[in-house]
Chains A and B, each alone.
Chain A
Amino acid sequence: MKGKVVMAITIGIICILLISVMFVQFKSVEVIENSGIGAMRESELREELASWKEKYEEVSSSLEENNKLIEQYNKESQDEQGALNLLNQDLKKANMSLGYTDVKGPGITITLSDGDSRITYNDILYLVNELKHAGAEAISINDKRIVSVSDIVNIQNKFIFVNTERIISPYVVKAIGDSKYLESAINVKGGLKDELEADGKSISYEVSSEVFINKYDGVLEINYGE
C-alpha cells in the first residue's frame, strides 16, 4: 500500500516535470517565430546591429560638421565678407557632391575591354552599382562623370551610351573612395572580375593614391516637380 502511494507520487512528479519541460520548449519556439526582427537569427541580427551602428556613425559625423558650420555662421557671418566666404564654401561643397567640379583622391581605375566576347552596357552598369555599394564618392566612365541621373544604355545592341554620349572600348571606369573597399568590390571571389573573365571579357584594375575625375558637363534640372 505504502509502496503504491510513493509510486503514484513519483509518477505524478515525473509527469509534471515532463509537461513543464514541454511548455518551456513551446515557449522558446514561439518567441523565435515572430515576423521582422523577431524572425532573425543571430547572424542576421549581428549584421543588422552593425548596419544601424554604421548609419549612426555617418549621421553623427555629419551632425558634428553641421554644428561646426553653425558655430562659424554665428561667429563670422556678421560682417559681409565673412558671410560671403561661408556661403561660397557651402556652395562649393554642394557642387562637389553634385559632380559639378573636378575632383581627385585615392581610388581605383578599372579597364574593361572586349575579349572573346564584347563588353555590354550592363557589365558597366553593374560595375558602377558595385562601386557605389563600396562607397565610391565620385565615378566616371571614359571621362563621362556619373551623376544622380546618369544612364548607361545600349543603342541598336551595338553602341554604349553614357549620359547620352557614345563611348567605345576600352572602357576606363574611375572611382574615388576607400581603395580597399573599392578593390574588394571587384576582386572578391565569384565577384565581377571572375564573372567577366569567365565570360571571355577582359578586366584589369589599378589602385592608386590619386585618381583624377573630371566634372559633369551637363546641367541637372528639375522641371516636373517641386
Chain B
Amino acid sequence: MKKSGYFIIGIICFLMTAGICVQVKTVTTWDTGPVVQSMTENKLRDNVLKAKEKYENEYKLLEQSMEELENLRNVAAKDNTDAQNMEKQINDANILLGLTEITGKGITIELNDANDSELAGNLNDYLVHDLDLVEVVNELFNAGAEAVSINGQRVVFSTAINCSGNIVKVNDEKIGVPFKIKAIGLPEKLYGALDRPGGYLELMEEDGVQVKMEKSDDITVPKYEGVYKTEYMQIVE
C-alpha cells in the first residue's frame, strides 16, 4: 500500500517535470531566453505606445498651426484683391495636395484574399499584394479619379504602397484585408474602366481574389495625415 503511494507520487512528479520541459521547449523555440525576452518586449511595447502618443500630440499641434495659418492668411488678405486671389489659390492648392477631407461622387472597391482553401496552384495568387494595390490605384487615376484612399490612407504624390513581411503598408501605415479603396470621380467612368474585360480587377478575380465594386454619390475620402517634404528640391525660376 505505502509503496504504491510513493509510486503514484513519483509518476505525478515525473509527468509534471515532463510537462514543464515541453513548455520550456515550446517557449524557447520562439527565441532564446523567453522570460527575459518578454520583459524587454513589454518595455518596448510601452515605448511604442508612448512614441505613438507623442506623435499624435505633435500632429494635433500641427493641425492647429495649419488652422491658425489659414486664419492669418485670411486676415492678411482682407484689404487687397491680389492678396485675396493668392489666398484662394493657396487654399485650392491645399485641397489638391490632399490636406483636406473631400466628399463627392465616385466608387468603392473592396478586395479580399480568396477564401476557398481548395483552390489549386500557388497560394500567393489568392492574396492581395502591395503591387496589386499599386495597379488598381493606377487604373483609377487613368480613369480620371481625383482623390483616392485605401483603408483610410489618402493616396497623394508621395504615397508608396509596399509591404514589410506579409503586411501591406500605405503611407508607412500598416493595413490589412479587406482593402477598401475609395475613389472620387465620375462614377460611370471609374466603374466602366475598372470593370472592363482584361482589366487588372478581372485578372485578380481569375486568381480567386474577391472583388466587390460599387458606385456611390456619397463618398468621403479622408485627408492626408503626413507631411510634404521639400528638403532637397528647390524652385528653378
Q: Which residues of A contact B (CB under 8 A)?
A: 11, 14-15, 18-19, 21-22, 24-26, 28-29, 31-32, 37-38, 40-42, 45-49, 51-53, 55-56, 58-63, 66-67, 69-70, 73-74, 77, 80, 83-84, 86-88, 90-99, 101-107, 122, 125-126, 129-130, 132-133, 135-138, 146-153, 176-178, 212-213, 220-226
Contacts and interface: CB of A to CB of B under 8 A. Distances in A.
17 contacts: A15-B12, A22-B19, A25-B23, A31-B42, A42-B40, A49-B44, A52-B51, A55-B172, A92-B235, A94-B90, A97-B228, A102-B236, A103-B236, A132-B157, A135-B229, A153-B139, A224-B184
B98 interface: yes
B44 A18 contact: no
B13 A149 contact: no
Contact of A133 (B30, B37, B160, B219): B160
Interface in B161-205: 161-162, 164, 172, 184-186
User: What size tier do the contact residues of chain B reach?
Assistant: 35 or more
Contact of B236 (A28, A47, A104, A126): A104
Contact of B58 (A37, A56, A107): A56
Q: Which one of B47, B89, B157, B186 has the greatest number of beta carbons of chain A within 10 Å?
A: B157
B231 A87 contact: no
Nearest to B26: A29
A161 to B, nearest CB: 9
B232 to A, nearest CB: 4
Contacts of B116: none
Interface string B48-68: 110110110011011001101
A90 B90 contact: yes
A224 B105 contact: yes
Contacts of A45: 41, 44-45, 48
Nearest to B156: A148
Given A56-B55, A94-B93, A125-B138, A177 B232 contact: yes
Nearest to B98: A148
A163 B142 CA distance: 8
B58 A97 contact: no
B202 to A, nearest CB: 15
Tell me if A's interface is mostly helix, strand, loop or mixed: helix
Nearest to A94: B93
Given A31-B42, A106-B232, A226-B102, A73 B76 contact: yes
B221 to A, nearest CB: 7
Nearest to B38: A28
A97 B47 contact: no
B206 interface: no
Nearest to B219: A225
A49 B157 contact: no
A25 B44 contact: no
B131 A41 contact: no
B145 interface: yes
A53 B73 contact: no
A98 to B, nearest CB: 6
Contacts of B230: 93, 96-97, 137
A103 B235 contact: yes
A98 B69 contact: no
Contacts of A74: 72
B45 to A, nearest CB: 6
Interface in B4-54: 9, 12-13, 16-17, 19-20, 23-24, 27, 30-31, 34-35, 37-38, 40-42, 44-45, 47-49, 51-52, 54
B94 interface: yes
Given A103-B236, A225-B146, A18 B73 contact: no
Nearest to A222: B146
